[in-house]
Chain A
Amino acid sequence: MLESLLNPALVLILGGLLVPLLRDLPRKLFMLALPVAGLALMVWLPTGDGGVVHMFGVTLETLRIDKLSFIFGVIFHIAALLAVIYALHLKDTVQHVAALVYAGAAIGAVLAGDLITLMIYWELTALSSVFLIWARRTERAYHVGMRYLIIQVASGVVLIAGIAVRYVMTGSVDFERMSLDEPGAWLILLAFGIKCAFPFLHNWLQDAYPEATVTGTVVLSAFTTKLAIYALARGFAGTEMLIWIGAVMTAFPIFFAVIENDLRRVLAYSLNNQLGFMVVGIGIGTELAINGAAAHAFAHILYKSLLFMAMGAVLFRVGTIKASELGGLYKSMPWTATFCIIGSLSISAFPLMSGFVTKSMILTAVAEEHLWVIWLVLLFASAGVLDHSGIKIPFFSFFAHDSGKRCDEAPMNMLVAMGLTAALCIGIGIYPQPLYSLLPYSVDYNAYTTTHVITQLQLLLFAALAFAVLYRRGWYPPEIPALNLDTDWLYRYAGRRVMDGAVAVTQGTGDAAARLGAYCWAQFDRHALSGVREQGWLASVWRSSTLVWWAAALIGLVTLIGLLQ
């Protein structure tokens, strides 16, 4: 029982809860030490299942360290450390505690050996992360947070239902690969799908992430969706349906990202698109594909964090992140601009950058299965990535026209966090072997073939050429302050209208029912009750003969009933 406390997740969660006791420098050092200690503990712990806890007659394995959980555990610790550095200037205790507990919960979930442990941490990620949105402390953030929390908790409830069905039918709560015919598997897949932002279940992501605090969005972007990617890779690898779901995910957010004005929301759409690549890899399920999904998740967490950090720094310094109000910031924030460009090159998968050595594993896995339609969709989506994350993000914030805005460079701790993340993005791109050695299966893959380098450069630079032509001719859609409808319209507008309608109908029916009731009561009162009141017919003085008649009739009735029996 005691050894089950030796869990990296608990280091971050319990450590996070102690943060309010400390101030200033000790607090900063303590927060920096937590992810390092967690990672050290995870490396030190033996591989295999452990952390056994007996609860309500069920045996839980709260700790499972194997190749698949280990790589996600490693990148979650790194992401947590980078996020702590990025938020080091912050005095808001709530955000520090929430970020550490949230990171710890995500780590606990990927290290969970059974479904019940997974579910507990799954819910904790939802409950802790919402504070990163609420910490914005605006009315809008409050509403966004509530929507986010409802959807996240719904995912947990669906997961509980799936686990319950599975436990009753099979008596097992093991978290292993399952097929969709198994009891409860569809519910579990749906729960994962909500957190993974499957098409039509996606919009909580674009709704909530851009409304969190400057540092909160960086933390949010790393964990929840990649936890879902891990869960899918563990539970549903090789499920063919995921190939198609993933392909749709890579394609549709691109169009929204092109016209979105809030640059952190552009990144949220881009995040959705990147998840699609990983889901395709999981759906294919071959060793190369699962390696690709895990490697891409690893690289993606870094460059996506980097991009959110850069945009967060702009928001922090300028006070807005709307593309229509930005431009020309490279003079004020040269370092942030440089780091942002490194993130953009990485996500676009330029050679020598991290995305190049990871995304191509997934594309190669698709090609090896001869799925040419999917392969073309992914290629198409890769050109789309270049637009929204490769060009739009750095171009409209740091270049384009001079918005006239002047500000200071980002704070030193933010620059350090961005610099470290950028170094990792380049490091993985140039020397991917350490990352490859962490992957679930042994790697026999070389991204740097002549064909791959040249074709990738052709794809990207001709897409950039298209941008240059469109922009210089004035055909590129201008950045305008506007909001774009997405599926959240269904519950934020249509749902509201339906509810208003239902309330009106209920109220109308209620009014009608109340009027009918009042009328009936009035009639009853006038005809029946008036009799018993003073002066009423029942209360008036009756003649004794009347009573005799009633008595005779009653006796007659009783006799008649007696005879009939």
Chain B
Amino acid sequence: MNNHEPGWLDKPRNVTRIVYTLYAICVLLLIADLLYTKHVHFAFEGWFGFFPLVGFAAYLFIVMSAKLLRRLIARPEDYYERKQRGGSNDA
């Protein structure tokens, strides 16, 4: 398979298909919440759309806050190696 031909996933049309499939499954899963009796430990688990909401919101929060974290803690790749040579920037 060592060639430069674009693969199936390199075509944007196919990627869009996958994404729309995901959207459709998500809609079905949301509707599923209405169709069965949830067995829950906490009352809030039983709310309509609780798990979808947690999944979506938690993911957004993690990724967006990590972007902020990166501003704080990201450094050049040779950060430590550079310091090991007596603090000079001769790396």
Contacts and interface: CB of A to CB of B under 8 A. Distances in A.
Given A383-B62, A406-B2, A477-B67, A451 B56 contact: no
A119 interface: no
A53 interface: no
A498 interface: no
Interface in A398-445: 399, 402, 406-408
B26 A465 contact: yes
Dominant secondary structure of chain B at its interface with chain A: helix
Interface in B44-69: 44-45, 51-56, 58-60, 62-67, 69
B10 interface: yes
Dominant secondary structure of chain A at its interface with chain B: helix
Nearest to A258: B66
B69 A466 contact: no
Contact of A458 (B2, B30, B65, B87): B30
A320 to B, nearest CB: 12
Nearest to B20: A468
Given A380-B54, A451-B36, A367 B42 contact: yes
Nearest to B53: A462
Interface residues of A, number: 64
A330 interface: yes
B74 A465 contact: no
Nearest to A459: B55
A367 B70 contact: no
Instruction: Give chain B's interface residue range (CB within 8 Å of chain A).
Output: 35 or more
B39 A493 contact: no
A386 interface: yes
Given A259-B74, A383-B54, 19 more contacts: A255-B62, A255-B69, A258-B66, A330-B7, A331-B1, A372-B42, A375-B41, A399-B9, A449-B39, A454-B29, A455-B51, A464-B22, A468-B23, A477-B66, A481-B77, A482-B75, A482-B77, A484-B74, A496-B83
14 contacts: A256-B69, A330-B9, A370-B42, A375-B41, A451-B38, A456-B51, A458-B55, A461-B55, A465-B23, A465-B26, A470-B60, A476-B63, A482-B74, A496-B84
